Structure 1
Amino acid sequence: MGQHTIKVPDVGEGIAEVELAEWTVAIGDLVREDQVLALVMTDKATVEIPSPSDGKVLWLGAAPGDKMAVGAPLIRLEVAGEGNTETTPEVSASETAPARSAKEPEMGEPHPPEPHPPEPLPPGRPVSTAPSPATAGAHLPRPEGEKPMASPSVRARAREAGVDLRRVAGSGPAGRITHEDLDRLAVAPDAAGPGAGYRRNTSVERIKVIGLRRRIADRMAQASARVAPITYVEEIDVTALEDLRKSLNAARRQDQARLTLLPFLMRAMVQAVARQPHLNAHYDDEAGMIEQSGGVHIGIAAQTDAGLMVPVVRHAEARDLWGCAAELNRVSEAAKAGSATRNELSGSTITITSLGALGGIMSTPIINVPEVAIVGVNKMAIRPVWDGNAFAPRKMMNLSSSFDHRVIDGWDAAVFVQKIKTLLETPALIFMEG
């Protein structure tokens, strides 16, 4: 028998390290050739690491959440034959999403286990009024209205623990409550009684931030540290747009995707950035360069079980309303199902974020760096609007949009949002070229 070491593969695009997202095997497991051993994450997607041969797992090179350099030993197998070789499995670029380098232990040395936090203290319990064997002979709780006797330190301790001393049996002279009586409460059996009152929960849970959640945290910290944002909020009357959307949905073919507000917004953004192409761009602040894109690749912030992802509708400028809706549905579903490819989760040039009915009346969207603009959709509501003669009920919605003020002036941001407002309030213009 021999030993076979598998290294972290090179997943391309110049990526130097990955993050171990999950082990699918444990030490001692028997594995077969091509069986998935682990999942690692880049900044784009998740990669499966297959086994190159049959064998038995001897050693794991990292714990979930650890970052590992490309080429670092990942896992060691006991295999038939000479073994003692190191291989790097091949992965497909389409299999590929977040990344800490792990130093290889000595041959056969197991990876140190992840440290576990101490068990949290149990929450407070309702106080039992019945005497336990440990309190035999103690005075029972005093009659209603009688003040319990206890020293100031006992009273302070009881307040901190949320204990009602009126319901505690005292074992001291004349029924005085002592520290020992409070100590016994911690081991007394649960006994919920009327008037037990509220109890403090002093438990603390420590949760390691790993995988996609750590990647999101890193991106948010980067945006906060490097971008000087400006947020512009505008109110939009979408009454006519909603009427048109319902009419189009009622007449749509079965093979056409159902229209939401977002495809209309996407088409409006295509027209708006045609007049202001510098908003459809990336800003490389280290090089001092703006990379202005001809294609409009719209990222759609989508909430998934794993966390926030941004699937991309590529070349929205080349898609009509129905085409935008179909592609939006496809990439959003792929992201939620965890099957989105690296290409479907990268390359956006401008982003939309929307929480639908939970969108509130305004928000401050965080720019998806290195982009320079993001459009936030707030919830729709019927509001009274003055039409010049009287107040009339109208369907209103706010757009909260943020811009990188380092390269986008407030005037340009306002012009961009006002163009979108005009198109959404007069939706027939969305179907006109220019």
Structure 2
Amino acid sequence: MPVELVKLPDVGEGVAEAEIVEWHVAVGETVREDQILAAVMTDKATVEIPSPRAGVVVELGGELGARLAVGSPLAGIRFGANGDVASEKDVDRPDGRALASDVPVDPQAGSPVQTEQPYDRRPNDGHPANAHRNGVAGVEVKLAPVRPIASPAIRARAREAGIDLRLVSGSGAAGRITHDDLAGYLQNRSNASAGPRIAQRNDAVEQIKVVGLRRRIAERMAETTRRVAHFSYVEEVDVTSLDELRKQLNTKFVEGRPKLTLLPFVVAALVHAVRDFPQVNATYDDDQEVVSRHGAVHAGIATQTPSGLMVPVLFHAEALDLWACAAEIKRLADAARQGTARREELNGSTITVTSLGDLGGIATTPVINRPELAIVGVNRMMIRPMWRDDQFVPRMMMNLSSSFDHRIIDGYEAAQFIRRMKELLEAPALLLVRN
């Protein structure tokens, strides 16, 4: 039977190479037409590559993390005379016995190796050599030899929770595991595991290869800290009036408008402040030694996703009111977390805002999103006793943590810029004035 090489396709927009971030198949596995073979990433966009026909996988083009040029072999698949070696009855057996893709393939003969017993997904006979304990007391389940079908985001969630996806039943097409499937498994495991436990030593060491978005983040952070002369500045802000105004606006304008959080007010203060300090809303090409000051405020919104930190861009923040800003921030954050953000939504920011929400801490030292010159971080709001009019009064306080590129921005300029943001946030009515 002939072997056909499935090559890495041109994923568009002039991309020359892509990184393998997920294998959905293994050598010896039978695949159906259009079944996903692998997920590849380029410039933070993940693309799934399907099989052109049904066949048996005989070769993989590289390990996780390997970078392949467009047109390079991604996988080798052996096809039958009719281009189909897996019938529907082999693909989904109702009795739980071996799938066609579960049967190992003799690489010399190109045909399935006969085994003594068919694979059975029922609980095993308790023999420890053939079982895997799934974390539920007293329950052991035999693991399928096939790699389960799931998206990179689901695999990331499973790794964080210490879950072997082969234990999770998928309800999607071709047994694909969905977020609901994983959530249900975690809930069932939590219920079954409830009750007192005796702590035991755990000497396990898990080695995780840094690939995909996490590798991109690592490379970008290392390059940024190597080339940029960071310095950080922290300022205390009284946001009592702002928080009261935010609550009033959310109460008054309910129908047809998104809920206002703190972030739209911070972006509005940023927009007003860069009018007085345009040198902060700029990018620096240190290879050409050219600073570009931008009239438009394209605010990067640092967003934590299951795969890692992403920075979708709020374009032309200077043209948005508070509610339009809130709606767009929510849309961008949701798209980033769901992996649906478009390539153009992840590039082109001129200054970045970052927030850890309720985990904001007292102060942070955010890393600049190169080639930008500044990043402003929002820390947790909390009530503190403040001295006013010869007495202590409770006030809602928050710190702004910011970092600047000291090659271009002087400390005095940075302090003036943050002081201007402080003035605006402490007198939030000014943010509603369009000028």
TM-score scaled by length of structure 1:
0.70
Q: Which amino acid aligns with 1:79?
A: F
Between 421-430 and 404-413, the greater mean CA deviation after superposition: 404-413
Q: Which amino acid aligns with 1:332?
A: A
**Residue in structure 2 matched with residue 418 of structure 1 by the alignment:** 419
SS of 2:424 mapped into structure 1? helix
Distance 1:5 1:348 in 2: 40
Distance 2:290 2:79 in 1: 52
Q: Which amino acid aligns with 1:226?
A: R
Distance 2:317 2:254 in 1: 21
SS of 1:423 mapped into structure 2? helix
Distance 1:233 1:52, change over 3 A: same
Shift of 1:396: 0.6
Any stretches of 5+ residues in structure 1 without a counterpart?
Answer: 84-106, 111-196
Superposition map of 1:87-126 within 5 A: none
Shift of 1:3: 2.6
Superposition map of 1:290-369 within 5 A: 290-369=291-370
Q: Which amino acid aligns with 1:292?
A: R
Shift of 1:371: 1.2
Between 218-227 and 60-69, the greater mean CA deviation after superposition: 60-69
Shift of 1:55: 3.4
Shift of 1:306: 1.6
**Residue in structure 2 matched with residue 258 of structure 1 by the alignment:** 259
Shift of 1:198: 9.7
Superposition map of 1:262-273 within 5 A: 262-273=263-274
Any stretches of 5+ residues in structure 2 without a counterpart?
Answer: 84-106, 111-197
Distance 1:358 1:78, change over 3 A: same
Shift of 1:36: 2.5
Shift of 1:203: 4.1
Distance 1:308 1:10 in 2: 26
Q: Which amino acid aligns with 1:387?
A: R
Distance 1:27 1:271, change over 3 A: same
Distance 1:14 1:276 in 2: 36
Q: Which amino acid aligns with 1:308?
A: L
Are 1:58 and 2:70 matched, yes or no? no
- Verify the 8 A CA contact 1:45 1:345 in the aligned structure 2: no
**Residue in structure 1 matched with residue 177 of structure 2 by the alignment:** none
Q: Which amino acid aligns with 1:419?
A: R
Computed over aligned residues only, the root mean square deviation of the Cα atoms, in angstroms, reads: 2.5
Distance 1:412 1:258 in 2: 34
Distance 1:202 1:52 in 2: 44
SS of 1:364 mapped into structure 2? coil
- Verify the 8 A CA contact 2:44 2:213 in the aligned structure 1: no
Distance 1:31 1:201 in 2: 38
Between 411-420 and 394-403, the greater mean CA deviation after superposition: 411-420
1:184-232 CA-to-partner distances (Å, cap 9, x unmatched) read xxxxxxxxxxxxx998755433222122221111111111111101111
Distance 1:198 1:21 in 2: 35
**Residue in structure 2 matched with residue 372 of structure 1 by the alignment:** 373
Distance 2:295 2:63 in 1: 43
**Residue in structure 2 matched with residue 42 of structure 1 by the alignment:** 42
Q: Which amino acid aligns with 2:358?
A: A
1:322-373 CA-to-partner distances (Å, cap 9, x unmatched) read 0000011111111112222212222222111111221111110011111111
Distance 1:384 1:55 in 2: 70
Distance 1:411 1:81, change over 3 A: farther
Distance 1:281 1:10 in 2: 33
SS of 2:377 mapped into structure 1? strand
1:227-257 CA-to-partner distances (Å, cap 9, x unmatched) read 1011111000000000000000111233211
Q: Larger radius of gyration, structure 1 or 2?
A: 1
Distance 1:347 1:336 in 2: 19
Q: Which amino acid aligns with 2:407?
A: R
- Verify the 8 A CA contact 1:259 1:325 in the aligned structure 2: yes
Q: How many percent identity over aligned positions?
A: 57
Are 1:22 and 2:22 matched, yes or no? yes
1:120-143 CA-to-partner distances (Å, cap 9, x unmatched) read xxxxxxxxxxxxxxxxxxxxxxxx
**Residue in structure 2 matched with residue 246 of structure 1 by the alignment:** 247
TM-score scaled by length of structure 2:
0.69
Between 24-33 and 239-248, the greater mean CA deviation after superposition: 24-33
1:44-103 CA-to-partner distances (Å, cap 9, x unmatched) read 2111223334433221111222222232211122235799xxxxxxxxxxxxxxxxxxxx
- Verify the 8 A CA contact 1:2 1:82 in the aligned structure 2: no
Distance 1:27 1:202, change over 3 A: closer
SS of 1:412 mapped into structure 2? helix
How many pairs were matched up?
Answer: 324
Distance 1:414 1:287 in 2: 28
Distance 1:278 1:421 in 2: 18
1:102-154 CA-to-partner distances (Å, cap 9, x unmatched) read xxxxx99x9xxxxxxxxxxxxxxxxxxxxxxxxxxxxxxxxxxxxxxxxxxxx
Distance 1:258 1:199 in 2: 46
Between 215-224 and 259-268, the greater mean CA deviation after superposition: 215-224
**Residue in structure 2 matched with residue 187 of structure 1 by the alignment:** none
- Verify the 8 A CA contact 1:3 1:82 in the aligned structure 2: no
